[in-house]
Copies of this chain bind each other. A is one copy, B any other.
């Protein structure tokens, strides 16, 4: 019932969907847009650098609780997300891992349903929009924590042969 929520946040030309704690919303809005951070998610390498710069900022200014699972090899930034831009589709995980995906990806509680759906529909689909919608609809159909309405952002890949 909050009137300010939005599932997709846009930083420069990158659209990002952050999952998990609701507390990330206000923090990401400020921290990622802070001029001094010079956030750059254009490539896997740039994103990793951005996350390395972001981590101490989250700790100092936003009181990040960087100690999560005891046996993780690195401090956690607590943020899982998928983001897209003209360079491709990326996944970003809490230990600051960044992965690049060739076809599609999903994160969050309904992700397994969405991945199954997008895998099934991928070869028969006309557009990324169709694939994404099929993924989101499957998540919403079976996962009680995933809910419509769906917000969509489309980007043109600079280097896509599809």
Contacts and interface: CB of A to CB of B under 8 A. Distances in A.
Nearest to A141: B119
Interface residues of A, number: 65
Copies of this chain present in the complex amount to: 12
Given A2-B100, A116-B138, A119-B138, 4 more contacts: A21-B73, A67-B70, A116-B142, A118-B120
27 contacts: A1-B102, A2-B91, A2-B101, A3-B102, A4-B44, A22-B97, A23-B72, A23-B73, A23-B93, A62-B74, A63-B66, A63-B75, A65-B72, A67-B70, A112-B112, A116-B142, A117-B117, A117-B119, A117-B121, A119-B138, A120-B120, A120-B121, A120-B134, A120-B137, A120-B138, A124-B124, A144-B144
